Amino acid sequence: QVTLRESGPALVKPTQTLTLTCSFSGFSLSTTEMCVSWVRQPPGKALEWLALIHWDDDKYYSTSLKTRLTISKDTSKNQVVLTMTNMDPVDTATYYCARTHVNSRGYYADYWGQGTLVTVSS
Amino acid sequence: DIQMTQSPSSLSASVGDRVTITCRASQTIANYLNWFQQKPGKAPKLLVFGASSLQSGVPSRFSGSGSGTDFTLSISSLQPEDFATYYCQETYRTPHTFGQGTRLEIK
């Protein structure tokens, strides 16, 4: 059974760094074609893709946010960590992590965490 | 970045109706297109990947088609549980951009 769970602070102050952890079970991030993605959704708005890490440690980022984002994995702990620096109130959103496959049909996120709401406010 | 444009932005329909949602990419993305369903307060659910491959467990009334720049998600006979917001996503090139969403409401 595949499960993912996001954890981190519910409230951060402007200019602070956000650190979110995705803890997962039921799959291994050392398996070929396996990835983990991060996606966020501001209240009442659309989904926004943030970052992706491959089983082989290749990493990809949102163009507009790449200077602020870092994604990393700890395969032994079954965790993926996303950090976002210089948080701003516009970064208030629900943050999701998702197991993502890559193969001849592209990338597809088939299991998602429940999401964690992060509010940026002083 | 590739831009994804969905139409319509919202749609009212009745149970039993057939509906079609369109997604257009700003450049060719071959068939690297996913569709998700999202209900309020819930995580997105994968419906279709690779433009036309139905995810395991998704009812056969859902279908996806298209290639290149133009794609559609069709629901053959709307059920009450299908009223939700639908998103397309390209995975041809990072960043894997989502469309702005289509809200499907009960008429």
Contact A107 B32 (CB under 8 A): yes
User: Contact, A63 vs A82, CB < 8 A?
Assistant: no
Which chain A residues are Cβ-neighbours of B44 within 8 angstroms?
Answer: 39, 47, 96, 109, 112
Mean pLDDT of each 10-residue bin along chain B, 107 residues long: 98 97 98 98 98 98 98 96 97 97 95
pLDDT in tens, A92-109: 999 999 999 999 989 999
Distance of alpha carbon A6 from alpha carbon A82, whole angstroms: 10
Which chain B residues are Cβ-neighbours of A106 within 8 angstroms?
Answer: 31-34, 49-50, 91-92
User: Contact, B69 vs B27, CB < 8 A?
Assistant: yes
Distance of alpha carbon B88 from alpha carbon B33, whole angstroms: 7
Predicted local confidence at residue B104, as pLDDT? 98
Find the residue in A nearest to B49 (Cα).
Answer: A108
Predicted local confidence at residue B74, as pLDDT? 98
Q: Which residue stretches of chain A have pLDDT < 50?
A: none
Q: Which two tokens stand for residue B79?
A: 């059920």
Predicted local confidence at residue A21, as pLDDT? 98
Predicted local confidence at residue A91, as pLDDT? 98
Predicted local confidence at residue B89, as pLDDT? 98
* DSSP, res B98: B
CA atoms in the 13 A half-sphere facing the CB of B46: 23
Predicted local confidence at residue A58, as pLDDT? 97
Q: Which two tokens stand for residue A65?
A: 């946010």
Q: With left for phi above 0 and alpha for psi between -120 and 50, is residue B47 left, alpha or beta?
A: alpha
Predicted local confidence at residue A90, as pLDDT? 98
